[in-house]
Every structure is written in C-alpha cells, then in structure tokens.
Chain A
C-alpha cells in the first residue's frame, strides 16, 4: 500500500536553529515527491519536486533531499516567517494519485 509518514508532528525551533523534517514513504514506482508549505487558513503552496534518489533542490533557507526511502527538508537558520505546516506528498504508482502525509507543524520563535 502506498503510504507517506512525516515526522516529527510538531517542531519548535529558536530563530537561527537549523533542523530537518522527515518524510518517509513506501510507494510502488516513485514518479515524484512533492513538498508544500501551508499557512493557517490557506491552501498548500508548492515548494519542490524531487524525482529520483540523490536529487537535491534549494530555495532560500530550505533544501530538500531524496533517498529511495525518505526525503528530508532541511531548514538552515530559520526565521519566524518560516513558521508553517510543511506537507510531503508522493505520486503513488499503484493508486495513480497524490498521497499526502499529515504534515509537520513548524514554529520558529524569535
């Protein structure tokens, strides 16, 4: 069964304290792994797509990496405006649809 698990459920950081969010997945034939950011009361906002193990992508303080079993979203020197829920999703080969994890709620305190 195609599945996505994100950890931790919640993470509190001090401004400038770097950390990583984890997204582990089981899927038959990965076609793409997607990271989204969701602010309270808003729709998910697309961040990155990763297609194959070893691939990395960066955007400002965020860097996403991919292995055959998991993806990490590294946050370097975070700022309070990085506070949001970060969602991971994979395109499931068996189900042919996007499968979302439940997200990591990140709070960055000044």
Chain B
C-alpha cells in the first residue's frame, strides 16, 4: 500500500515551458486535491476533485489545469510556467469531504527560471 505518490520529485522549467505533475493514490479515495506550499504561507488549494471525471477550482487556480480521468490519478498541468509558480506542490486524497482527514504525497519541488 503506497498511499499517495507524486512524480516527478524535482523539476526545473524555463519561463513559458509546460509540464504535468502526476498524482496517484491506491486507497480508493473519492476526493483528491492539489496544493502549493510557499515559505511563510499555509498550504493553499489549487484545484480539487470530488470524484472521477470531476474537477473544481480552489483558492489559487490561475495558471493551472487539472484532469481526473481515472479515480486513482489526478494530474496538474502548467501550460506556460511563470517564476511565480516556483513552489512545492503537494497532492492529497481523502475518503470524503469536510470531516475526513487528507493524506498527502511527498511533494514535487518545482523551480521556474
């Protein structure tokens, strides 16, 4: 039981390049989330999904897109990377919504130059 996994672990992009971050969970969770974590700020929600085929915007969705084609996978895309997107990105999943704890992946450290 691997829990929540993320690939890649590290990535460096140049401004304007695109990339996709992959999140996978093997806990059969319905809900999945993408957060970013920046120094001095709490984790901020980018996008989330409440089930296969669904996505919704979080607190800071601009510049990102997501897809949930399979229940176990949640992809985060950056179409045209900007230096402001330099951050550590965490994926999380949970069985349900508000009263259910979220389980986090190990993170992806992204640097945009």
Chain A residues with a Cβ under 8 A of chain B: 4, 31-32, 34, 36, 41-46, 49, 51, 87, 89, 91, 95-103
Contact = CB atoms under 8 A, between A and B. Distances in A.
Contact of A43 (B58, B59, B106): B106
A49 B98 contact: no
Contact of A44 (B40, B58, B99, B104): B104
Interface residues of B, number: 23
Contact of B99 (A31, A36, A96): A31
A105 to B, nearest CB: 12
Contacts of B48: 97
Given A31-B98, A43-B90, A91-B98, A99 B103 contact: no
A25 B20 CA distance: 35
B101 A42 contact: no
Given A46-B101, A91-B98, 5 more contacts: A31-B99, A43-B4, A98-B33, A101-B42, A102-B41
Contacts of A45: 104
A87 B107 CA distance: 16
Given A100-B43, A101-B42, A44 B98 contact: no
A60 to B, nearest CB: 18
A31 B94 CA distance: 15
B102 A46 contact: yes
B45 interface: yes
B107 A43 contact: yes
A93 to B, nearest CB: 8
